[in-house]
Amino acid sequence: METTASPVDVEPGLLDAVRAAETVLSSRFGARVTLADPENLGGAGRSTVARVRVASTPFSLPRTLVVKRYPEQVADRDPFAHEAASHKLLTALPAEERATPELFAQDTRKRLVVLEDLGKAPRLAEKLLGSDARVAERGLLSWAHAMGRLHATTAGRDADFDALMRRQGSQCCADPVAVDLHVALAGLPDLLREVLGVDTPTSVLEFADHAVRGFGTSRHRAFSPSTSCPDNHLVTGRGVRFLDFEGGCVRDIVFDAACLRVPFPSCWCAYGLPPGMSEAMLAAWRAEVSSVWPDLDDDDVFLPRLLEAQLLWLWLGTWRGLPSLEGQGQNGHGKRLDVPPRIQILTSRWVRLRTEALGLGVKHVAAFAEELVDALVARHGSSALELALYPAFR
């Protein structure tokens, strides 16, 4: 394989992924395709991701491509199956409606996808960590519009996605987020009692259980990328483009909409947003989906569901984050040393839930959120309430 780096300079796993991609592309197109100059793009330990140059091909291929390869299936889910099925579903959309990379090839046995290279456009995280508030605001609104358009263009594609998952050989077709939610629903009350001394009222458990069941039967369903981390959104001249579909699935779109309110609930390197920003993002999202689901323009329909989704994200995040609350963890923004402590992120999310629940008159959820906030502050001090804004908004 032609490459500007010697084998000792390139990780063996990266070279293996590139060689596998050459084989897959050559088989796909019926003639040899040669790739070169692999650039490691990282994969958070879950996959190998590389940008490669197309060195030789008899076909019309882009100058560069992205190769993503997964290790063996883990535990109760298969990230590769979700990634491959997601890209197949989305690549079938008209190019002007596609907010994701085009899929050029995939191989189930080699657990590999070859994707369009969207280039070195800045990620949404870079906009938020910059110094220009207007640029950051435009990036957030572009993300909200792009999410709404993605939902509107993939409405009701459950059967298509399930069929694609079956073709990957995956047991059809568990939503990994739903699986985690059920585990968290069962386990969080004991964890809260053990760590914070907070008992979860039966009324709150019933509210959360009703929310989980409601999201499983909702008719507001479309494709969801699953992750809300701003590192997975490229801000391009054609709008925001989504990356990373390890948990991609067709699910209730309001669960994604709650990512605009929280925000970034699957991310532990999040800062705060200025007043009114989340509301503007939600308005942008609703403008895109209202043509498909006009009932979501009705606050009496939308806001109660949004509160349920917000609670489920916090339930899941608290279940995942509370055991390691003392640690900073790694962030995805160049390992910044000033990333907010997790305690501040978690506490701010429960404070926001308390406010929203009070606004809708859901007093038992508001009271539970307030008790949790009080317990977190009692354990970690008043600094737990001091979540800073993203640098762009300071």
Say if 180 falls within a structural domain. yes
Q: How far is Cα of residue 210 from the mean position of the Cα atoms in its chain?
A: 24
pLDDT at 217: 87
Please give the residue range of the domain that contains residue 183: 124-393
Q: By three-state DSSP, how is residue 245 classified?
A: coil
CATH number for the domain harbouring residue 318: 3.90.1200
Sign of the dihedral through C-alpha 104, 106, 110, 114: positive
What does the H/E/C string look like for 364-392?
HHHHHHHHHHHHHHHHHCHHHHCCCECHH
CB 182 within 8 A of CB 117: no
Amino acid occupying residue 120: K
Say if 1 falls within a structural domain. no
Residues 144 and 242 in one domain: yes
> Maximum CA pair distance of the chain?
67
pLDDT at 215: 86
pLDDT at 210: 94
CA-to-CA distance for 367 and 306, rounded, in angstroms?
Answer: 18
Continuous segment of H or E residues that includes residue 103: strand 103-107
Say if 345 falls within a structural domain. yes
Say if 65 falls within a structural domain. yes
Residues 263 and 138 in one domain: yes
pLDDT at 7: 44
pLDDT at 1: 41
pLDDT at 3: 40
Which of 87, 116, 145 is the C-terminal boundary of a domain? 116
Number of domains in the chain: 2
Residues 325 and 372 in one domain: yes
Say if 2 falls within a structural domain. no
Six-digit token string for 115: 């994707």
Residues 100 and 131 in one domain: no
Which of 84, 116, 148 is the C-terminal boundary of a domain? 116
Say if 273 falls within a structural domain. yes
Residues 85 and 194 in one domain: no
Residues 106 and 52 in one domain: yes
Say if 364 falls within a structural domain. yes
Which of 72, 89, 116 is the C-terminal boundary of a domain? 116
Return averaged pLDDT per consecutive 10 residues of the chain, 394 residues in all. 44 87 93 93 78 90 94 78 94 91 94 94 95 97 97 94 85 80 95 96 97 90 90 91 92 96 91 97 98 97 97 96 67 57 96 98 98 96 94 96
CB 343 within 8 A of CB 376: yes
Print burial letters for 120-139: b (CB count within 10 Å at least 16), e (below 16).
Answer: eeebbbbbbbeeebebbbeb
Residues 317 and 364 in one domain: yes
Residues 69 and 159 in one domain: no
Residues 268 and 363 in one domain: yes
Residues 50 and 177 in one domain: no
Residues 49 and 150 in one domain: no
CATH number for the domain harbouring residue 32: 3.30.200.20
CA-to-CA distance for 367 and 355, rounded, in angstroms?
Answer: 10
Residues 52 and 148 in one domain: no
pLDDT at 335: 47
Residues in the chain: 394
Record the pTM: 0.91
pLDDT at 175: 87
